[in-house]
Amino acid sequence: MQLMRLDSFVAVRYNVKSASDNFEIYNVVSDPQQTRNLALTPTLPVKLDSPAPASASFRTVSDLQTYFKAKVLQSRRPEKWAKRPYDSALVPAVHATAIQGGLNWQFYKGHYSWIPQVSALKGTQRGHIATIQLEGLKAVQSGREGLLMLEGYIKAPTDGNYTFYLSAQSNAFVKLHDMQLIDADFGYTPGTEKTAQVFLKAGLHPVRLYYNQKDVRKVNKITEAKDHIPLLQLSWSGPGFSKEPIAPENLFSRKK
């Protein structure tokens, strides 16, 4: 069974055979007993009480159905120990307007034993970066302890199976859409490469990269011992190309 909720609407489906299986959809505010399956009337107009999620538009029940089907795929990646019938389904891209090349970043000063949720934190610095090259950022050059978050979109050039590769000098974490793509946080050995595979539709996919900068003196010791390790490197391989750093032409972000 799968169950999701958006605003007043709950979507549920059973015995899922494929990513295209329809959800039953109910308005649990006006119909708390869930007696009317709105999915049977896909052209029925709908209205959300709260703002719609970014890059989404809802006019009818059909739009809700599309959203819930996409959200399932955007919230997890295939795992060998938890196989699902839709593991090879392509994760839908998103539509984004007012975008620019590169990624936006924020720095959250402080000592963090692990990578925290940033929703309750206040950023002390912010800016824009063209590539995933942390060495040039003032927040990094200062040597202060803190969490660096890069945020934007990765553009998949074509449909297919992609592998992502992450290595870093300190704890790091990568989220793609709402899925935990690569976890290099707890117990991570600096310089170790971690990988993850995911099937992507061509287009823009929201990404967040977290880098937990430690005391500069500790970082320098690592650098002296392993000077070939960049602070953080995210590479990928995919349909028609082998492993390479993610190029600037594949990185985008919202204009501030």
Higher pLDDT: 51 or 201? It is 201
Tens digits of per-residue pLDDT, 72-101? 999 998 888 888 889 999 999 999 989 999
Work out the angle at residue 219's Cα, subtended by the Cα atoms of residues 213 and 224, and round it to the nearest 5 degrees.
155
Torsion of CA 73, 77, 80, 86, to 10 degrees: 20
103 and 61 belong to one structural domain: no
Could you tell me the two tokens for 36?
């009317």
- pLDDT band at residue 52, thresholds of 50, 70 and 90? confident
**CATH no. for residue 210?**
2.60.120.1560
Q: Domain total for the chain?
A: 2
Asked if the structure places residue 88 within a domain, the reply is: no
Domain that holds residue 135: 99-254
Answer yes or no: do 65 and 139 share one domain. no
Note whether 120 and 44 are same-domain residues: no
Angle at 243 between CA 240 and CA 245, to 5 degrees: 115
For residue 85, tell me if it sits in a domain: no
- Residue 9 and residue 134 in one domain: no
Mean pLDDT of 193-215: 95
pTM score over 0.85? yes
In this structure, is residue 89 part of a structural domain?
A: no
